[in-house]
Amino acid sequence: MNWEPPEKPTDFTEKRLIEAILQGVYPVDSYLPSERELCAQLGVTRPTLRETLQRMRRDGWVEIHQGKPTRVRNYLQEGNLNVLNALANANAQISLNIVESLLETRLLLAPTYFTNASRLHPTDLTDFLIRIIPISNEPAQAGLLDWELHKKASFLSGNPAFLLILNGFEQVYLKMAERYFDQADARAASEFFYRNVLQHTQEQAFDSVFRCTQKMMQDSIQFWRNSIATLEEL
């Protein structure tokens, strides 16, 4: 039997408030209702609401000043990486848009962390690549292993900031990876990429690692657009 733990009141409250912000009920620079009103609308206690608002303040959703109404901040400009996970769980259009933005960010980062990993820890990187070649034909499994590869390369790069940034993308990535790797040509391109990184690392051709990673990250943006276009045709 699969026992699902009950949702915590603070998690429920945060989810509902973020949904209201994203749906424009409480737009950027507007003010939330009073605590009394929000507690009544959400069916929660004041301590629960206050704890939730403090979490949302930390992540960049709201601004709180004692004795003043709570203001909705510009979360895309002022929020932290936790905002990404909330956006991933929002409505479909918001999720689709944010994934392309993340892929563009990965394009800037991945060539460097793969090149550094190839130079600093070639054996660890090649051992992992050998494990995942050939790529799985099961989209969810292919997506999970691709994610693990990026985390491995970012860790081996010697720069902890890369892995910390990627960790902020995890929920978004895993949610959308199955759709991406449902495309046979996307899986084939990724396997070709893995084989190239493996070969270039073994040959110590580090400039080639950078270039082939950059090309794959550029191509991944188009594969993602193709997956969206297919979805819209259904």
pLDDT value of residue 230: 65
Assess contact for 187 and 181: CB atoms under 8 A. Answer: yes
> 4 pLDDT exceeds 70?
no
The torsion angles phi and psi of 90, rounded to 5 degrees, stand at: -85, -165
pLDDT value of residue 149: 98
Tokens encoding 60: 């960049």
pLDDT in tens, 80-136: 878 877 776 666 555 666 788 889 999 999 999 999 999 999 999 999 999 999 999
**Number of domains making up the chain:** 2
pLDDT value of residue 90: 66
141 within some domain: yes
Considering only residues 168 and 203, tell me which one the structure prediction assigns the higher pLDDT.
203
Measure the CA–CA gap between 150 and 162, rounded to whole angstroms: 10
Shared domain for 141 and 171, answered yes or no, is yes
Last residue of a domain, one of 80, 110, 142: 80
Bond from prior residue into 134 cis (ω within 30 degrees of 0) = yes
> 40 pLDDT exceeds 50?
yes
Considering only residues 228 and 133, tell me which one the structure prediction assigns the higher pLDDT.
133
User: Domain range spanning residue 205?
Assistant: 83-233
Shared domain for 172 and 219, answered yes or no, is yes
pLDDT value of residue 93: 58
User: What integer best gives the mean pLDDT of the chain?
Assistant: 91
CATH number at residue 112: 1.20.120.530
> 234 pLDDT exceeds 50?
no
Last residue of a domain, one of 26, 46, 80: 80
Give the mean model confidence (pLDDT) for residues 171-194: 92
Shared domain for 103 and 46, answered yes or no, is no
Of the ranges 22-26, 61-65, 168-172, which one carries the lowest mean pLDDT score?
A: 168-172
> 11 pLDDT exceeds 70?
yes
1 within some domain: no
89 within some domain: yes
Shared domain for 33 and 105, answered yes or no, is no
Shared domain for 209 and 119, answered yes or no, is yes
Shared domain for 76 and 99, answered yes or no, is no
3 within some domain: no
Measure the CA–CA gap between 81 and 60, rounded to whole angstroms: 10
Shared domain for 64 and 91, answered yes or no, is no
Side chain identity at residue 2, one-letter code: N
Shared domain for 163 and 101, answered yes or no, is yes
Shared domain for 73 and 152, answered yes or no, is no
pLDDT-above-90 percentage for the chain: 71
Shared domain for 106 and 13, answered yes or no, is no
60 within some domain: yes
Shared domain for 189 and 123, answered yes or no, is yes
196 within some domain: yes
> 3 pLDDT exceeds 80?
no
HEC secondary structure over the chain: CCCCCCCCHHHHHHHHHHHHHHCCCCCCCCECCCHHHHHHHHCCCHHHHHHHHHHHHHHCCEECCCCCCCEECCHHHHCCCHHHHHHHCCCHHHHHHHHHHHHHHHHHHHHHHHHHHHHHCHHHHHHHHHHHCCCCCCHHHHHHHHHHHHHHHHHHCCCHHHHHHHHHHHHHHHHHHHHHHCCHHHHHHHHHHHHHHHHHHHCCCHHHHHHHHHHHHHHHHHHHHHHHHHHHHC
Shared domain for 96 and 191, answered yes or no, is yes
